[in-house]
Copies of this chain bind each other. A is one copy, B any other.
Amino acid sequence: MENEDFDGTVYDCLKIENQLCFPLYAASKEVIKRYRPFLEKLELTYTQYLAMMVFWEQKSISVKELGAKLYLDSGTLTPVLKHLEQKEYITRSRSREDERVLIAEITEKGEALRDKAVEVPTQMACCIRLEPEEAAALYKLLYKLLGSIEQ
């Protein structure tokens, strides 16, 4: 009855098509790629755009807090924030209460960028052709997955 030529070997679990991680990885990359032409007009990379979304909600934040929100560490955020500072979208300075803490704060120019950025989600929605219920279901499942892997 057992026949290795049919599907059903011990190696089936190693097939790309049987992985959940692969479409997750690929879809994430492909979606981010689609952002590029829209974000270029704002002089932002995708990671910088994520950071700016935080600054538009909250004028200033520490690297640690920002890292907790974006699932990124200082090794990634330090250069990202330096780039945003170069573009004058934020300023970086040490906290007076605790010199270990770096506080990044949005500038006028950064605030002004928001009015251009507000077009991006609409433009992106055209690229991602999912029904609203499907998008909602996907959103929910992704956050459930994210929650389930926090150690």
Query: A-side interface residues toward B, CB under 8 Å?
Result: 10-11, 13-16, 18-32, 34-35, 46, 50, 53-54, 56-57, 69-71, 114, 117-118, 120-122, 124, 127-130, 134-135, 137-139, 141-146, 148-150
The answer for the CA separation of A122 and B12 in the assembled complex, in Å, is 12
Q: Which secondary structure dominates where chain A touches chain B?
A: helix
Residues of chain B contacted by A26 (CB below 8 angstroms): 70-71, 146
List, sorted by A's number, 7 A–B pairs whose CB atoms are closer than 8 Å. A11-B118, A13-B118, A15-B57, A16-B69, A21-B32, A25-B50, A26-B146
The answer for the CA separation of A46 and B128 in the assembled complex, in Å, is 26
Taking the full assembly, how many copies of this chain does it contain? 2
A121 with B14: CB separation less than 8 A: yes
Question: Distance (Å) between the CB of A145 and the closest chain B CB?
Answer: 5
The answer for the CA separation of A84 and B6 in the assembled complex, in Å, is 29
The answer for the CA separation of A143 and B146 in the assembled complex, in Å, is 18
B135 with A20: CB separation less than 8 A: yes
B149 with A16: CB separation less than 8 A: no
A118 with B25: CB separation less than 8 A: no
